[in-house]
Amino acid sequence: MMSDRYGWPYVGIPPGPGMPPSSEPRTDLLTVRFVQANRGMISGTMDAYWDPDRRCRASALFLGSVDADVIKGTFTSMCEDQFRRSTGRWKVERKRQPLER
């Protein structure tokens, strides 16, 4: 996940209060805690991560649909204080490699 506002990658929880102690953005894997797929629909939650836009520890819920090689939907991200909320859209597309002969 990447912030549209600043273009910084979301990262794991920093070791202390405030921003991650790095002068350059770094990329960390974000963890999907739970995902369920049923009848072309997908939903899930993500473990907490650092949100550089809101400077808070946040977690996200996502909903979407599966259509052939495309999965897309919406997400809601909420800071731990339960007041600061962000919503958006996401999309994943599988690119198939040509078969080698």
Distance, in Å, from the CA atom of 47 to the CA atom of 10, rounded to the nearest integer, reads: 12
Verdict on whether the full-model pTM lies above 0.85? no
Answer yes or no: is pLDDT of 80 > 70: yes
Beta bridge partners of 66: 71
Structure tokens at 85: 């909320």
- 15 — pLDDT class (breaks 50, 70, 90): low
Determine the pLDDT at residue 10. 61
Hey, where are the domains in the chain? 37-93
- Is the per-residue pLDDT at 69 higher than 60? yes
